[in-house]
Amino acid sequence: MLRRTSSQTIAYAGRRPRLDKSESLFVGYSARNRRFTRQFFLAAAQLAARCFDSLTVAILDVPYAFNDAAKRGESNPSPAEFARVRQIGDERERMVKRVLHSSPGLTWSLLRWEDLEDSSVRNLRKELTWALRKPSELRFELLESASNWAGSAGVVSSAELLGFQIAELPLLLSIYYQRSLLVDLYPGELTPFFFDLEAGRWSHELPTATAITGGQRLSLIDFASAAPTASTQAVGVDFPLEELVSR
């Protein structure tokens, strides 16, 4: 169990979060990530009630169907694979609701994939799909990220694993920059893709995605780090955070 009861700090990357109830806190619940525990959501609710205007949780389950298809060497999931990850999403939704319903003084909402998928997300996905069709630094970096998972999962080819990122990254772009949920609480480090996009690194490959960032800066609070790392900084909070992540 990771405890941080005395330092009263949290690690963050990107923009410094305000922690003055002027911003909303967002959690994208990756449905198969085991670090998203009941203890994590209890701590998230505590942090949101004290330091943020509200908490929004999105259940991100659909992209995992693409990982399942990739294990078969396919790019397109079967109906059974979609149904399986949706069932997992239903289970995760029930757990999160139990925790948040029991959290006093908290304004919260819970979203599923169908609540977030719209024409804007689909257009961003088309742009990303097109950009990844040809060799580029962007394709190389996303493939490298996919390869790290593929190696641990025993998947021979990682190219199919781009399906996960093609599904998820445009949805997160819409959440961060079109819904203005710019403080993301995550049990670990976030992909540098979004920070690179804000800096204009992918403006040639992804002009629409770059434009919607609008100069706004994402803030990632990393609940898995016991202390700031080379890629994060620390910000103080005015109450102790306990049992943040079960490992």
pLDDT at 107: 96
The CATH number of the domain where 105 resides is what?
A: 3.40.50.11710
CB atoms within 10 A of CB 62: 22
pLDDT at 1: 30
pLDDT at 102: 92
pLDDT at 11: 82
pLDDT at 158: 63
pLDDT at 153: 57
pLDDT at 92: 97
Adjacency order of strands within the sheet including 219-222? 108-111, 55-60, 25-30, 183-186, 219-222, 9-14, 233-236
Overall domain count for the chain: 1
pTM: 0.87
Amino acid code (one letter) for 21: K
pLDDT at 143: 86
If the chain, 247 residues long, is cut into consecutive pieces of 10 residues, what is the mean pLDDT of each piece? 49 89 96 92 92 96 93 91 97 97 93 96 97 91 76 59 92 95 88 92 96 90 66 63 43
Domain carrying residue 40: 2-245
